[in-house]
Structure 1
Amino acid sequence: MSYVGEPFRHDLFVSYSHGDDGSGGAYLKPWSAAFAHELERELRADRRFRTSLSVFRDQDHRPAQSLDPMAPLTAQLQEQIAGAALLVVLMSPDYLASQWCADERDWWLERQAALGLPHEERIAVVRIWPTDTPWPAALCDARGEQLVGFAFYPADAVPPRPLGWTDLPGAFGSEFRKALLDMVGRLYPKLEAMRARAEDLRRQREEAERLVRDSGQTLYLHGRSDHAAAWEAAALKLVDKGFAVVPGEPDRVDSDPVRLQAVRERRVETLSGCDALLLLGTDDGRALDADLVVVGKHDRQSARARSHRLLPCGLLDTAGAAIATSVRRATARIVQADWIDGTDEGWPVAVRDWLGAKGVQAGGAP
């Protein structure tokens, strides 16, 4: 398990070319392997990462990396590489010339796209050798300029060699360690940010899976106290279908601004723990217009900010043509309230189907 957590199997993947010469020589491998080892060691110096950090290198065939000796190697490596939260590239002319390194990069990028996560600011380029050929687009900024990255070779060295090249096979010297600590200091916040993002993804997935269930979701049914009979009839039908309905009564209409604000505060608090919001649409079109904006937009936004939940919103139309004007439907779309026909006797099934569609859209299993 990685520090960042699911859906990431590893926190970092270190990608580099061995610098093969075609006859079995691997000029860059000893330095690159030593760099990856020192990077992991320095990251683990922080107690937060000491026991849970996972750094993957495609040269590792250790049991701890979960590589199955009976399975196709390329497929396993693809899965391991794609499951890293951050990509660390040891940039050199050999890296740019390597098709294997290009495949590794593509596997990682494809996985991030499938997760719906941007890759920008999640690739750390370590410049270990000068390059004079164009970089792949993923390793450039929006203007097409190469990512600044981290310099690990002296700019004035002739011939150019990575920092600490002459220290091997012994310990790296102070110049290398200073550069490495600067990099580690930049990686820590990235790992923390990805951990928070992964937690959001897991929470959204759990919510999506809950929405696709046949019943059991908690619905906030908003209706006004002067439409109590319609609200109670709708609430009972939802309960009969297996939904939990809150609050236990329609919201009170109050002209006093202080009491009205208290009602809204309680509403937001309750909404924060719900799976979805249903606005009850009766033949009182003006009341519905206000509820769409105040409850369906503003109060829902406040509840989502407080709970970080999906909280889809539906407008349950129990009056039909009396309120279903083109303008009101357009307003509902703008505030992201889905129109649900509540004039049919079997409308609770439509609510269940609507929740299921929302869950699938958010990533839940169909």
Structure 2
Amino acid sequence: MTPRRRATLRDIAAALDLSVNTVSRALAGKDAVSAETRERVRAEADRLGYVPNTMARSLVLQNAMTIGLVITNPSNPFYARLISAIEERGRVHGYSLMLMVTEDSADNERRVAEELMRWGVDGVLAVPVQHGIDHWERLGKSGTPVLLLNRDLPGLDADLVGVDYYDSARRATEHLVDGGARELYLVEEDLDISPVNERIRGFHAVLAERGIAVRDDHVLRVPTRRREASSQPWDPIDSYAVGRRLADRIEPGSAVLAGNDYFALGLYRAFTEHGLSIPGDVAVAGHGDHPFAAYLAPPLTTVRLPAARVGTTAVDRLLERMAGAPPADAPARTLLEADLVVRSSTAGPSAARTGGTS
């Protein structure tokens, strides 16, 4: 079956014995065309199934009305919420979204940056792999503003909008210490990225301030499965093995902060299989407030990340750059505060004081 050819302005003009220019002006609602002609043109356009060619229009106007969004993995619940917020905010301003995925591969990221340059998008929001800045610099020099999302990229002259992970880890760690824990552990993924590094920094800062000895084995790095199964950013099995080893030596009254709720899920199983009670023997907190967190037994204390606010703030800032807002002396860094959601997995003095449940 031969595909039907897409209707054009020329087809409408031929059917009505009008000029292409008249048809174009009629569809655009120009006053120079009579109401009767506009009605005839619109009716014929509907009959032929005419759809405006947005790409051709963008070539003429030098405006694609498209924002490029580069993320590492769409199956991460945080990025799923982020995508929705960005798409909705962009649509309000008339922009479509072009989504590109790098799977945390530097090679993929360079290819994606080149593709975005060829497509001529109006601006780019990027969660960077954090290996190399040349391709982002080329995109910026081509006239396409680039804004970083959730991860910093030192050396790149670009705005950043993300979560204040240093503060979120500090608040979660303080909550665990206030609950009576004197032996604390942080379970983090093994990627060298700014959110992980900032959470480690916040965790260490609280221990040092509270006079708790900081040892190398207080931070346990989980070898994630990203390299083997890129469609799943985390898997509880990644932290389950770490949790089993930790359960053999952890002292009663200790606490563990997980870098994401999936890691906390693996720790739950490891600890309970070992006969440890949560929170009786060990308190557990996470990051992300994923939908399952409130339904674990016991419900998980976790950090609720402001994904939607990150998305809308980033779009608004990018639109300012696209409209020609001059760069400041230094790129703007906007880090949004997360919310600590206290549930019974960390039941203790601090939970009683805040009364926080969700």
TM-score (structure 1 length as normaliser) = 0.29
Choose 1 or 2 for highest CA Rg. 1
Higher RCO (C-alpha under 8 Å, 6+ residues apart): 2
